[in-house]
Amino acid sequence: MIKVAMIGFGGIAGAHRYAYWYYQRAGLPVRLVAAADVDPSKFTTITKINIALRGEIVDELPFNTYTDWREMLEKEQPDLVDICLPTAFHKAVAIEAMERGFHVMCEKPMADTFADCCEMVQVAEKTGRQLMIAQCVRFQPEYEYLQQAVVDGRYGKVLAATFGRYSPFPTWNSTWRIHAGRSGGCLPELNIHDIDVIQAIFGQPQTVSCDLQSKVYPYDFADTVFSYPELDVHIKSAWYDKDYLFNACYEVEFENGVLSHERGEVRFTDRDGTVCPITVEDADGVMGEIRYMVNMLESGAENHRNPPTASAETIYALEKLYESADAGGKSLLYREML
Q: Among candidates 97, 41, 43, which has minimal Cα distance to 70?
A: 97
Interacting residues of 82 by C-beta distance below 8 A, sequence separation 6+:
4, 5, 6, 7, 16, 104, 105, 106
310: amino acid identity, one letter = A
Decide: is 237 part of the binding site for ligand NAD (CB under 6 A): no
d(CA 108, CA 12): 10
Q: How far is the CB of 8 from ligand NAD (least distance, A)?
A: 3
Q: How far is the CB of 109 from ligand NAD (least distance, A)?
A: 6
Q: How far is the CB of 50 from ligand NAD (least distance, A)?
A: 7
Taking CB under 6 A as the binding criterion, the range among 54-62, 83-91, 216-224, 226-234 that sits at the site for ligand NAD is 83-91
Decide: is 87 part of the binding site for ligand NAD (CB under 6 A): yes
d(CA 11, CA 91): 19
Q: How long a stretch of residues is the chain?
A: 338
Q: How far is the CB of 131 from ligand NAD (least distance, A)?
A: 15
84: amino acid identity, one letter = C
Q: How far is the CB of 87 from ligand NAD (least distance, A)?
A: 4
Strand partners, 276: 268
Sign of CA dihedral 115, 117, 118, 119: positive
Among 69, 139, 239, 268, indicate the residue that binds ligand NAD (CB under 6 A). Answer: 69
Among 28, 30, 36, 105, indicate the residue that binds ligand NAD (CB under 6 A). Answer: 36
Decide: is 176 part of the binding site for ligand NAD (CB under 6 A): no
d(CA 289, CA 104): 13
From the CB of residue 236, how many other CB atoms can be counted at a distance below 10 Å? 20
Decide: is 66 part of the binding site for ligand NAD (CB under 6 A): no
Contact characters 11-30, ligand NAD, x per CB under 6 A? xxx-----------------
Residues 261, 268 contacting (CB under 8 angstroms): no
Decide: is 303 part of the binding site for ligand NAD (CB under 6 A): no
Residue 75 or residue 267: which is nearer to ligand NAD going by CB?
75
Decide: is 202 part of the binding site for ligand NAD (CB under 6 A): no
Q: Among candidates 63, 86, 85, 89, which has minimal Cα distance to 75?
A: 63
Decide: is 283 part of the binding site for ligand NAD (CB under 6 A): no
Binding site for ligand NAD (CB under 6 A): 7-13, 36-39, 42, 47, 49, 69, 84-87, 107-109, 134, 136, 172-175, 189
